[in-house]
Amino acid sequence: VSYNQPKICPNASWGLNGTTFATNYGPGSYSGIFINTNNTIYIPNNANGSIQIWSNESLYSSKIIYANLSNPYSIFVTTNGDIYVDNAYSYGRVDKWTNNGSNRSTAMYVNSSCYGLFVDTNDTLYCSISSLHQVVKKLLNDPSSTSTVAAGGNVSGSTPDMLQNPYGIFVDTNFDLYVADCGNDLIQLFSLGQLNGTTVAGNGSVNPTGILNCPRGIVLDAHNQLYIVDSSNHRIIRSGPNGFQCIIGCSNQSGSTHDKLNLPRTLYFDSYGNIFVTDYKNNRTQKFRLLNNSCDGYTTQQSIMTTTMAGVSSSSTIINQNLVTTDTTVFDQKGTTNQETTSKMSSSIYTTNTTSFAEITYGMSSTTNITNITSFSETTSEMSSSMNTTNTTSFPETTSGMSSLISITRTTSLSKTTYETSSMTNHYDLTSVTSSDQFTTTQSLSLLPFFVAPPCSNEYKIGMNCSSSIAPCDILNPCQNYGTCFNNNETLYGYTCNCTSDFSGSECEINRCWNNGSCIERTATAFNCSCQSGWQGRHCEIKINYCENVTCFNSGICRSLLLDYTCECLSKSFTGRHCEITQNTMVIHQMVSKSIGYISIIFIVGVCMFFVIMDILKYCFRIDPAKSQLKKTQQKKRPKKAKRPLIIQKFAYVNASPLKAKIQEESSFIKRTNI
């Protein structure tokens, strides 16, 4: 994948104060953000319609793509560097920028702005259209494909198959679609091929998350834990093994200081686990550094638990799994606000008449009825505490793993020593305090320089009330995926896990049926897997090959997808579902090449026939049409004889008669003439 999904431990913590990474996007900005695995940051700039790019989180943008965007809401970058950005506000399309931002094309036409964009590992483009209350998708590898509805409809609604103003979206490697349903204050999960969603966060979810107020962003880490931009609550929350926890902006109040957000929109991780948030109303992008991600130690977590009782709302903070910090807000009948904070925090209670509030602590619950309270404040510091009270029965107090039950009658002053805690109470009357913890002691803890737990009659129990078990199942909780743990001293680790039908292994860590398949157990050792669409095999481990009976024409290559296939044409001259459509230019080229080929063949055949016919006439019929021409050619090629010089022979006779001499002279003349 192109985005970061770091491995975040359940007890990880981020800095409370963010640093401003980028700002000045222009008024009314709806900018999104994307960070790839190389920590390159992409932010669309609403002010000038460009895309700004920061390499490796540098302070200054390394590149600007002037894309002529109109109110871009979202952006996504794939592994090969293709940039998909919303440009539907004025142009009704999603733009695709390739070749390092030099070429633009239209990836998908839409009817309204995309508040969320995502490209899954199957090269399917998703667009969250808030105004139409739906999420649409389009297969990028098939140019002839059209967009289809992945979730929601054309009207708003709160039923499982409907959405109301969806914003951010996220698709995991199982192709499950998560949607931030802002109008319904929910996070909806749509499994592959399903139009009915399941609520995973917000009202009606399986795991209580508290109240969401228009969530606008959603991402998952490597452990598939949710990170939600709770926009109108101005905070970031995440899921974990202990429920949902607030990690950023936990005051639930908007602001422009570094520890506050104002209508945040989008978040993404970098490869180090730092969180980047687009702070919409403050017109900036905030970076919150990951301070601690050690899975061995324990750090501060803020667990969101909301309890409503007689107008009371309380939220708890668990520190080091022992020290319980309770942040309680009490509303009396006249609307007065009461707050109580422990562990290096302070609070005050102001109320009149009779109001009850519930305090949620780690391993203890108590109910208190308060009457005629003028003011109450409790401040945590280090060492010693004093308490002034009137007409008080007994109440328990738990601080950093130490519990004591203090019994006070009438007006009494009692001082005690606690671990890094001091408290002071002035001018209050408590009546009828009851507790679920019935352990009572009258020993003054101020005499002990350190904490000593009382001995328990049951050797397998520990704790102040001997209520905590030391059995492996209770301490380790090793069985995963809803498996049941049984203590068994005969095994190596002292426990065994009874797994559900879908899982196996010593700790139920192995999913018998992969890729979201459902296990149908026939016997204790035999089972069948009911696979999701697109998968097959005993464990649903084999992806169905949809290219098995498909032929791609013109040398096209078939590539099997999930629930579908696509033919990849080797040239732009061929298009269509099966590369069967040929472009006009290609048709012309084919006609010309065929014509030249036919002419060449005819010429070669004609030449061969000519030589064959000539041989038949010569050797079969003794007719050689080329004989005379051959002789003429040979004669022309013969060299001409050189002319001899004229030789005159003259014979002279000695002692010859005149007549003979004359005859001889004539004969010599004749010879000379002939020569």
Q: What is the pLDDT of residues 40-56, one digit of tens each?
A: 999 998 878 899 999 88
180 and 208 in a single domain? The answer is yes
Beta strand ranges found along 494-604 (DSSP E): 495-498, 503-504, 510-511, 518-521, 527-530, 535-536, 542-543, 557-561, 564-568, 574-575, 581-582
Rg of the chain over all Cα atoms, to the nearest angstrom: 46
Please report whether residue 608 resides in a domain. no
In a shared domain, residues 275 and 246: yes
Distance between terminal CA atoms of the chain?
Answer: 110
Residue ending a domain, among 302, 323, 357, is 302
In a domain, 474, yes or no: no
Are 231 and 319 found together in one domain? no
Residue 365: the pLDDT is 34
The amino acid present at 231, given as its one-letter code, is S
Work out how many domains the chain is built from and give that number.
Answer: 3
Average confidence score pLDDT of the chain: 74
Question: Is 163:135 a contact under the CB 8 Å cutoff?
Answer: yes
Check residue 523 and give its pLDDT.
65
Task: Indicate whether 282 and 404 sit together in one domain.
Answer: no
> H or E stretch including 244?
strand 243-248
Q: Which domain holds residue 29?
A: 13-302
Residue 497 or 26, more confident? 497
Q: What is the pLDDT of residue 624?
A: 80
DSSP 8-state symbol, 65: E
- 149 and 28 within one domain: yes
pLDDT digits (tens, 9 = 90+) for 160-202: 999 999 999 999 999 999 999 999 999 999 998 899 999 999 8
Does 261 share its domain with 342? no
pLDDT in tens, 391-424: 333 333 333 333 333 333 333 333 333 333 333 3
**Pairing label, strands 93-98, 83-87:** antiparallel
- CA dist 482 and 206 (Å) reads 14
pLDDT, tens digit (0-9, with 9 covering 90-100), for 531-569: 888 888 888 888 888 898 899 998 899 988 878 889 998
Same domain, 282 and 392: no
pLDDT tops 60 at residue 593? yes
With beta carbons less than 8 A apart as the criterion, state whether 520 and 501 touch.
yes
The model scores a pTM over 0.85:
no
In a domain, 525, yes or no: no
Decide if 485 is inside a domain: no
Residue 69 and residue 215 in one domain: yes
Residue 22 lies in a domain: yes
In a domain, 168, yes or no: yes
- 373/262 same-domain check: no
Establish if 623 belongs to a structural domain. no
pLDDT above 50 (res 598): yes
Amino acid identity, position 358? A
Same domain, 127 and 264: yes
Is 501 a residue whose pLDDT tops 80? Answer: no
Q: Looking at 431, 448, 465, which one is the last position of a domain?
A: 448
Which one is predicted more confidently, 288 or 448? Answer: 288
Residue 643 lies in a domain: no
Cα-flanking dihedrals φ and ψ of residue 607, to 5°? -65, -45
For position 297, what pLDDT does the model report?
A: 47
Q: Are residues 60 and 155 in the same domain?
A: yes
Q: Tell me the torsion sign for CA atoms 220, 222, 225, 231.
A: negative
Reported as a pLDDT band with limits 50, 70 and 90, residue 326 is: very low
| Structural tokens at position 568 | 């990849």
Contact 346, 379 (CB under 8 A): yes
pLDDT surpasses 70 at 432 = no
* CATH number of 287's domain: 2.120.10.30
Domain final position from 388, 420, 448: 448
CA torsion angle 163 164 168 173 (round to 10): -10
Q: Say if residue 336 is in the same domain as residue 226.
A: no
- pLDDT number for residue 408: 32
Q: Which tokens belong to 497?
A: 């896990």
User: Who wins on pLDDT, 529 or 357?
Assistant: 529
